[in-house]
Structure 1
Amino acid sequence: MTDNLRPLSMTLVAETKRVNRFSETQWRIDDLTLGEQGPHVLFLQLYMTERAAYRFNLTSSTPRLFVRAGFTGQAPEPAAITASQDVAAGWMDGEQQVLEVAMPMAIQIWIESYLARHGEAPMEIRKKKNKGAGRAKETPTQEKPQ
């Protein structure tokens, strides 16, 4: 097995939420385990380009994993898993249903090890915008004598 790929198994459970007279079914990940023994098996793959997002997730109070589970409003069908909030946000922008679950300690340690082997992502340094940069400038026009 490569150093950037781990199989994870999960089970999903539906919960009915009631708000006033309306009820809605919400899905959540009930169980997440390492290995390929559950009803839904996905492979968590780490990418060099996502190292900053992994570090951000690991330093949060509760590191999470995110599962893309089909389109919003449909029964969930787990298709991909990530440890990057940036990737998960992109999925949600595409109308995808994203389930999240606490990251197991074994996965946190594995990601820490990955970051130690491959280095932390370089800090992004953003250039300050010059005042008025990117805007059309008005140039004074000379009036022609008549």
Structure 2
Amino acid sequence: MSDNLRSLSITLVAEPKQVRGFTLTQWRIAELTPGEQGDYVLRLQLSMTERAAYRFNLTSATPRLFVRAGFTGQAPKPDAITASQDVAAGWLDGEQQVLEASMPMAIQVWLESYLARHGEAPPEKRKKKHKGAGRAKETPTKEQPQ
């Protein structure tokens, strides 16, 4: 397997939840393990463009993995996994349901190794603001001959 791709097995469980007198089904990841032995097998592929997000995740108190599981309000159908909160946020913006789980230690070590091999993402440089930048300016116009 390549240095940026790992198989992960996921098992989901449904839990009834009471909300204002109604019973709803809430899904969660019961088990997430490296390998191909669970109900769903997804491939976690790392991307050079997400290195800053991976570092942010790894330095958090509890690193997480995020699973895209189909559209909100439907039975979950996991079809993608990421270690980037930025990617997961994009899925949520698209009205996809996103389940999350603690990142297994083996994946944390693999992710650290990936960052060590490919380097940390370069720090984002902020553009200097120029005087008057972002403000509309009135520009003189020439009279059009009639």
Tell me if both proteins adopt one fold, taking TM over 0.5 as the criterion: yes
Point out 4+ residue stretches in structure 1 off by more than 2 angstroms: 128-132
* Matched residue, 2:66: 66
* Matched residue, 2:119: 119
Q: Distance in 2 between matches of 1:89 and 1:20?
A: 28
* Matched residue, 1:89: 89
* Matched residue, 1:53: 53
TM-score of the two chains, using structure 2 as the length reference: 0.91
Superposition deviation, residue 82 in structure 1: 0.2
* Matched residue, 1:31: 31
* Matched residue, 1:9: 9
Q: CA RMSD in A?
A: 1.5
Q: Which amino acid aligns with 1:93?
A: D
TM-score of the two chains, using structure 1 as the length reference: 0.91
* Matched residue, 1:143: none
Q: Which amino acid aligns with 2:92?
A: M
Superposition deviation, residue 16 in structure 1: 1.0
Q: Which consecutive unaligned segments of at least 5 residues does structure 2 have?
A: 141-146
Q: Distance in 1 between matches of 2:67 and 2:134?
A: 39
Q: Distance in 2 between matches of 1:73 and 1:95?
A: 9
Query: Sequence identity of aligned pairs in percent?
Result: 81
Superposition deviation, residue 131 in structure 1: 4.6
Q: Which amino acid aligns with 1:90?
A: G
Q: How many residues align?
A: 141
Q: Which consecutive unaligned segments of at least 5 residues does structure 1 have?
A: 141-146
Superposition deviation, residue 76 in structure 1: 0.2
